[in-house]
Amino acid sequence: MTAGDKAQRQPVLVIMGGSGSGKSTVAGILAGQLGRDLEEGDDLRPPAHVAKMDAGIPLTDEDQPVASVHA
């Protein structure tokens, strides 16, 4: 990595909280104020999971991605 590459990198901000707590609203305002892109976490979910959430059905542990740990 060159010094120029380091200068181009920006920290990633993650906004977390419970359902309905205003995460998307706060993240949108923050992204606008900082001139940053916003990527909504639910946009990364499979369409079936989004449909389930839209129907008011909570996702289960089985719906969540599993992080693997490599030694």
What's the mean pLDDT in 48-67? Answer: 86
Q: Which two tokens stand for residue 25?
A: 């609203």
What are the DSSP calls for 16-66, one per residue?
---TTSSHHHHHHHHHHHHT-----GGGGS-HHHHHHHHTTPPPPGGGSPP
What's the mean pLDDT in 2-31? Answer: 84
pLDDT in tens, 18-57: 878 999 999 999 999 999 999 988 888 899 999 998 999 9
Domain ranges of the chain: 10-59
